[in-house]
Amino acid sequence: MPWRKLAGSPFDTYKKDAVASNGMVATNHPLGSAAGLEMLAMGGNAMDAAVASVFALSVVEPMMVGIFGAGFINYYDAASGEFVNIDNYSVAPKAATPDMYETVSDEWPDYMETVDRANLVGYRSVGVPGALMGWCVAEERFGKLGIDTVLQPAIRYAKRGFAVSRYLADIIRLNADDLALFPASSDVFLPGGGPPAVGQTIVRADYAKTLEVVAAEGPDALYKGRIGEMVVEDMAANGGVITGDDFDDYRIHFREPVRGTYRDYDIVSVAPTSSGGTAIIEILNILEGYEVGSLGFGTAEGAHLLAEAMKIAFADRFEYLGDPAFVEVPVGALTDKGYAAARRREIDTARAREFTYGNPALYVGEGADTTHLTTADADGNVVSTTQTIHAVFGSKVTTPGTGMLLNNTMNIFDPHPGNANSIAPRKRMVSSMSPTIVMKDDKPLMALGTPGATRIFPSVLQAIVNVIDHGMSLQ
């Protein structure tokens, strides 16, 4: 495909298209993609490929994702034409309190910081995980091959080792001081006391054993078994607050997806506790009142419009988005076309401005660091899933004997009491994850998502706009 100039754009664009006829797997690491393709070659479906890929990524992309993490799965079933959303996000331990951290500032940019980085690094930053349960339930209900089979590539990579990429080597180097605080993390990721070289082999023997137990016992290995007991014992010895009751009480949720339209396309994304789908549809509704394509890709006018619409969505996100089990989230109103029209009138196309949250109650409605992968099979089933342990290497803690990095999802909560996303026992924190599927004439046109913390939904949004308004290929 030649270089080409986009209409009205100051940029040339080029990216070679990837084409397949019987299925596709897109992940952030070649071994992650290879695991998924292996399942498709064995006769598995898109869910088998997705679950195999994410387990494999938990080995070879350990700074981003793990079984002690959290995420969302957006699944399109081609036979029924239905969507299934699985919320396997993290939950605050029952011992968590709104004021459990001492905050540094009430103002940005230090608003989310706490004394001694207690919500960022170490045992007190760890939330109750949903990843393992979500992946296993998704495989059991929608896969064909079974959890033991889809785990085999990950077990193989962990037991026999994998080559360190430049990406992983650089991230280990940047986080070496924090990893060194926890011996079980340091032993694996700082071999010989320092970061590994690019191309050096990392073996994760303890994690291989953990995955083998999961292959035999399923999620009970963590939530009811010895692996969970090892975590609880380590927590108790190091000031953590997760107990066995937290594992016993954890549940995933099947949620209705958030839906909207943009021009002639249907947008299907994830519902709260993720803010991503709601924000994407709110922004697209605002943009729909403009001829975005005519502004040109990468122009000052186009960038200004995107930025102003995003600022509106972020203001609403801070005020209204939280765990729907704890706060009333006006999803229907925030994604309403009339509400978007009202907010659109606040935008000055010639000048940047600040925005506060709106009043969605006036409108109709219902009463950095992560990984994303997408799979599709020959039958037309599609999986778009985003999973995380939050910051790179999560809390930096590895539970001794398990090889398992623990998340630091408590860092996602607002550490100040009294807000929609403030801490409460057994509450889910608000995510920005946005595994999204765009439909055209009742068929999947594109499935996409991205890592990037609060940059996730603005990035997914721009990819949608670039394809629909600017005529780009997905690549």
* Catalytic position from the list 273, 370, 398, 399: 370
CA 263/CA 274 separation, integer angstroms: 24
Amino acid identity, residue 147? I
**Is 454 one of the annotated active-site residues of the chain?**
no
Residue 183 exposure: Cα atoms within 13 Å on the Cβ side = 4
Closest CA to 464 of 431, 437, 433, 432: 437
Residue 112: both structure tokens together: 């989310």
119 Cβ contact partners less than 8 Å away, ≥ 6 residues apart: 101, 112, 125, 408, 410, 411, 413, 415
How many CB atoms within 10 Å of residue 376?
Answer: 25
Tell the burial category of 1 from Cβ atoms under 10 Å away from its Cβ (0-12, 13-18, 19+): exposed
Beta bridge partners of 87: 72, 253
Tokens 């952030």 found at = 28
CA 251/CA 246 separation, integer angstroms: 10
199 Cβ contact partners less than 8 Å away, ≥ 6 residues apart: 163, 164
Amino acid identity, residue 353? R
What are the catalytic residues?
Answer: 370
